[in-house]
């Protein structure tokens, strides 16, 4: 009997892992519609410029960093990342302390066709960039060594239903509402920051696991696995950005 249970658990993990191992690509594009902060624009990326993004990650390799009731953070290993604002190509930071991550949280929001607030699931990707070089191709002026951060968020129409909040929650829903893209830079030399914002059209594609495959994976891990937690230096940006239920508030003076 014990051997049969172990074999069944192994089959669950094998079946689930095979499906969930498929990489997921998130991509979108839009127009920058707002500038905030006190850093001056260089003119290379004015309001009205287009932006686009695309990156791929493997949900099976995402690491749970923190979770609570209605809230979760997963570290992600990205590949094929490309983020552009006008002619500016945003360079992701290669440093481990700036690992890309996604934040999930339950909220309430109004949706088209309804005059009452409904349960929702919001998500935000945080992608840290390399320190700036201080050249004219960058969106904001100031000295070299400015910190950069791109955040990409959206809201899904999703009832809680008592289900745990996991990464697969964002893969099994329909349309994304209230999308928000934000690029921000902060100059530590003068303690000023600036940000460019816009909404986008986009979503998940290529290899999104089916809900039943996710169920198999979760069941298998529940029988035989555990969660490994690790610390992350959350003070690296010095309060550069703080996530809000809809959209991003970028730290600025």
Residue position matching structure tokens 């969660």 = 227
* pLDDT computed for residue 125 by the predictor: 97
Tokens of residue 220, six digits: 């298998």
User: Tens-of-pLDDT digits for all 253 residues of the chain?
Assistant: 444 433 343 443 344 433 345 899 999 999 999 999 999 999 999 999 999 999 999 999 999 999 988 899 999 999 999 999 999 999 999 998 999 999 999 888 877 777 787 788 899 999 999 999 988 999 999 899 999 999 999 988 776 666 778 888 787 656 788 899 999 999 999 999 999 999 999 988 865 444 444 444 444 444 433 333 333 443 333 333 333 333 333 333 3
pTM of full prediction above 0.75 = no
**Where are the chain's structural domains?**
24-207+230-250
Q: What is the pLDDT of residue 158?
A: 76
Residue 21, pLDDT score: 52
In DSSP notation, 103-167 reads: EEEEEEE--TT-SS-EEEEEEEEEEEBPPP---TTSSB-S-TT-EEEEEEEEEEE---TT----G
């Amino acid at each position: 009997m014990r051997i049969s249970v172990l074999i069944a658990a192994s089959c669950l993990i094998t079946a689930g892992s095979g499906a969930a191992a498929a990489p997921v690509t998130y991509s979108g594009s839009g127009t920058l519609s707002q500038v905030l902060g006190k850093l001056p624009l260089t003119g290379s990326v004015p309001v009205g410029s287009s932006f686009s993004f695309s990156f791929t990650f493997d949900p099976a390799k995402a690491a749970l960093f923190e979770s609570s009731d209605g809230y979760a953070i997963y570290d992600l290993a990205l590949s094929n990342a490309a983020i552009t604002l006008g002619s500016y190509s945003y360079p992701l930071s290669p440093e481990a302390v700036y690992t890309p991550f996604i934040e999930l949280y339950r909220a309430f929001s109004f949706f088209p066709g309804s005059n009452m607030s409904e349960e929702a699931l919001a998500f935000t990707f945080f992608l840290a960039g390399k320190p700036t070089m201080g050249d004219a191709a960058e969106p904001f002026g100031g000295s070299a060594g400015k910190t950069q951060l791109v955040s990409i968020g959206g809201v899904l129409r999703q009832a809680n239903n008592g289900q745990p909040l996991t990464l697969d929650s964002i893969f099994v829903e329909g349309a994304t509402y209230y999308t928000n893209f934000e690029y921000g830079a902060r100059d530590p030399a003068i303690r000023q920051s600036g940000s460019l914002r816009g909404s986008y059209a986009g979503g998940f594609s290529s290899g999104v696991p089916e809900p039943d495959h996710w169920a198999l994976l979760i069941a298998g891990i529940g029988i035989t696995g555990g969660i490994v937690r690790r610390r992350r230096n959350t003070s690296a940006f010095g309060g550069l950005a703080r996530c809000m239920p809809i959209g991003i508030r970028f730290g600025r003076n």
